[in-house]
Structure 1
Amino acid sequence: MSVKIRLKRTGMKKAPSYRVVVADARSPRDGRIIENIGWYNPRVEPSAININEEKALSWLKNGAQPTESVESLLKRAGILGRFEAEKAAAKGSSNA
């Protein structure tokens, strides 16, 4: 089973906001999810991002693949950088 971290569209017509969710890759965009880990509102200036860092990191460590849009949100929130640093530290300690 392939698990993705992706956006689920919410909000009114022409006024979208999004939930950052973990879902099976085969389920539809607004279909069944495994866990809700945050939200993103592009309609405010600057755009609002709120992602639970612990949940996101645990899903990334378990192999969940973020979509391109979620990957950019994780970079902006600083979560992806922390994940890469932890991965590099774990790799360095295992080689030593």
Structure 2
Amino acid sequence: MIKLRLKRFGKKREASFRLVACNSTSRRDGRPLQEMGFYNPRTKEIRLDTEALRIRLQQGAQPTDAVRSLLEKGGLIEKSIQPAEVVGKMKQAAAREAANKAKTVEY
């Protein structure tokens, strides 16, 4: 399976990352199949090769969580709702309903 992941490079404590496509069993800093972007967390710079990313995603490449958030910021994929967010919203809705019922109970 092909994974889209971040490959670390740069000095100590000054990390930058390349967005690469690689085999899921290869090492994080191993040889990639293709380099498709760049991310610098210090300057918040993001450069993406949108055409290459679109092709890899259509071929079935799976992005890691960090890459998924970068692709969402770049507008390549729609923002996904995380399961924790759904559960949190459901709990909030249930709490609101319980509060409304408590207010409307007459003695």
Which TM class, normalised by the smaller chain length? 0.7 to 0.9
**Could you tell me the percent identity over the aligned residues?**
42
> Does the alignment pair 1:36 with 2:35?
yes
The residue identity in structure 1 corresponding to 2:42 is R
Mapped partners of 1:24, 1:32: distance in 2: 9
Tell me which residue corresponds to 1:91.
none
Q: Which runs of structure 1 show a deviation greater than 3 angstroms over 4 or more consecutive aligned residues? A: none
The residue identity in structure 2 corresponding to 1:10 is F
What TM-score comes out, normalization by structure 2 length?
A: 0.72
Q: 1:80 Cα deviation (Å)?
A: 1.2
Mapped partners of 2:77, 2:4: distance in 1: 12
Q: Which runs of no fewer than 5 residues in structure 2 stay unpaired?
A: 79-107
Mapped partners of 1:14, 1:50: distance in 2: 21
The residue identity in structure 2 corresponding to 1:74 is L
The residue identity in structure 1 corresponding to 2:70 is L
Q: 1:9 Cα deviation (Å)?
A: 0.1
Structure with larger Rg: 2
Q: 1:32 Cα deviation (Å)?
A: 1.5
What TM-score comes out, normalization by structure 1 length?
A: 0.80
Q: Which runs of no fewer than 5 residues in structure 1 stay unpaired?
A: 82-96
Tell me which residue corresponds to 2:23.
24
Q: Structure 2 matches for 1:1-96, cutoff 5 A?
A: 2-44=1-43, 47-81=44-78
Bigger RCO (CA 8 Å, 6+ sep): 1
Q: 1:79 Cα deviation (Å)?
A: 1.0
SS in 2 for 1:80: coil
User: RMSD between aligned alpha carbons?
Assistant: 0.6
SS in 2 for 1:79: coil
